[in-house]
């Protein structure tokens, strides 16, 4: 049993679905829960056209049971998104088949081609061996892919996908998350960063497709080549600059304590310079998005530390991030205060 799913039963039902979409003799093999990240409803498996034939890798993503089918809770919406991106030449996994209903697996689901390669978390624990120069080049390729993503005609291609989320709504939503902190001092630090950011919120409101967690652990690569941008669960129509600011945060050593080693070959300033050529006006607000990313991740860390400590979602990495929370909010506030009041 895994997160409420019986693996043997799930594999049998997945095979029935595969036979409807792929062929009557399709065999599903080696279904297993994917490790790391937010993979609670992400499984890897292999399938073959018939017993004894060569197999092919695939990824199964299930919609979370008992959750309203909208936003990140609507896994099936990724079908239209990934198909539109592939048509525009943006490297993303191919959809093999998908179903929006619950008849086959009990929840909506998508099946994607398994992209070759590996990913790297943007922070290394202190003392770990650094990644190779070829792997570091993925940051440059990822940033170029982000520029393409930012210029993707989101409203034209995905106008019926969902309503755009304004930066005002996006910004306001994180206070509730912040207030779930197990440490009152963290809430106070977060609110100081929030207030500094609120006074300087950018006027620009250009709608763009936002990945939601654009950083190196969502860039699948092999032999120094970017193969795909993965993990689109948090994607939405939002404000240009959100993803760039997030990437800048992961490259800014002032956000992170000495227990980490950054391996980004790009500074936050270099990311800003390279990204800013993709859209009119974006460069003027990137400093704000750089600051906002620290506030946003600080709020996320507050919640996840609480979930770790109360046993609802144990994960020791959040105790490492707990050491960064005061720094995240202080750096966010400092960056924001260096910007002009709007």
Question: 330 or 36: whose pLDDT is higher?
Answer: 330
Cβ neighbours of residue 274 closer than 8 Å, sequence gap 6 or more: 143, 147, 266
Q: According to the model, what pLDDT value does residue 64 have?
A: 82
- Segment 206-233 mean pLDDT: 94
pLDDT number for residue 280: 42
- pLDDT bin (cut points 50, 70, 90) of residue 281 is very low
In this predicted structure, the answer to whether residue 38 has a pLDDT above a threshold of 50 is no
In sequence order, which ranges of the chain are alpha helices (DSSP H)?
A: 7-21, 78-87, 133-151, 154-158, 167-172, 174-178, 184-198, 242-250, 268-275, 282-309, 317-322, 325-337
Q: What is residue 28's predicted lDDT score, i.e. its pLDDT?
A: 93
Worst-scoring range by mean pLDDT, 306-310, 325-329, 338-342?
A: 338-342
Contact 252, 270 (CB under 8 A): no
Start-to-end C-alpha separation, the chain: 53
At which residue do the structure tokens 């992400």 appear?
Answer: 42
Residue 230, CA distances (Å) to 61, 214, 301 in order: 12, 9, 22
Q: Given a cut of 60, is residue 31 above it in pLDDT?
A: yes
Average pLDDT for residues 37-57, to the nearest whole number? 79
Which one is predicted more confidently, 285 or 221?
221
Please report the pLDDT score of residue 130 as a whole number. 65
Q: Which domains does the chain have, with CATH numbers?
A: 7-113 (3.30.200.20), 123-337 (3.90.1200.10)
Q: Average model confidence (pLDDT) for the chain?
A: 89
Q: What is the pLDDT of residue 1?
A: 42
Query: Beta-carbon neighbour count of residue 134 at 10 Å?
Result: 12
Output the pTM of the full model.
Answer: 0.91
Backbone torsions φ then ψ of 290, nearest 5 degrees = -60, -45
pLDDT mean over 94-122 = 94
pLDDT of residue 39: 44
The DSSP annotation for 214-230 comes to: -SGGGEEEETTEEEEE-
């Amino acid at each position: 049993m895994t997160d409420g799913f019986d693996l043997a039963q799930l594999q049998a039902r997945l095979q029935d679905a595969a036979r409807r979409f792929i062929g009557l003799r399709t065999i599903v093999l080696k279904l297993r829960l994917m490790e790391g990240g937010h993979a609670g409803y992400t499984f890897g498996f292999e399938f073959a056209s018939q017993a004894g034939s060569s197999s092919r890798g695939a990824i199964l993503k299930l919609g979370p049971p008992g959750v309203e089918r909208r936003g990140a809770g609507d896994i099936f919406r990724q079908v239209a998104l990934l198909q539109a991106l592939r048509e525009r030449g943006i490297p993303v996994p191919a959809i093999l088949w998908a179903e929006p209903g619950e008849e086959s697996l009990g929840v909506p689901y998508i099946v994607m081609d398994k992209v070759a390669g590996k990913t790297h978390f943007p922070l290394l624990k202190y003392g770990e061996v650094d990644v190779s120069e070829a792997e570091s080049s993925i940051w440059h390729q990822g940033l170029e892919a982000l520029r393409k993503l930012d210029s993707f005609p989101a409203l034209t291609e995905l106008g019926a996908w969902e309503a755009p989320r304004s930066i005002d709504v996006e910004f306001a939503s994180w206070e509730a998350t912040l207030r779930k902190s197990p440490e009152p001092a963290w809430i106070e630090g977060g609110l100081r960063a929030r207030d500094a950011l609120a006074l300087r919120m950018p006027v620009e409101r250009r709608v763009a497709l936002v990945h939601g967690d654009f950083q190196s652990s969502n860039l699948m690569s092999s032999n120094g080549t970017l193969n795909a941008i993965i993990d689109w669960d948090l994607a939405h129509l939002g404000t240009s600059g959100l993803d760039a600011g997030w990437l800048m945060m992961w490259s800014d050593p002032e956000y992170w304590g000495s227990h980490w080693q950054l391996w980004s070959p790009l500074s936050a300033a270099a990311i800003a310079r390279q990204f800013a050529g993709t859209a009119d006006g974006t460069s003027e607000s990137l400093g704000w998005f750089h600051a906002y990313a620290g506030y946003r991740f600080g709020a996320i860390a507050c919640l996840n530390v609480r979930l770790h400590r109360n046993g609802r979602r144990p994960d020791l990495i959040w105790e490492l991030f707990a050491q960064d929370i005061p720094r995240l909010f202080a750096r966010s506030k400092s960056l924001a205060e260096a910007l002009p009041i709007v």
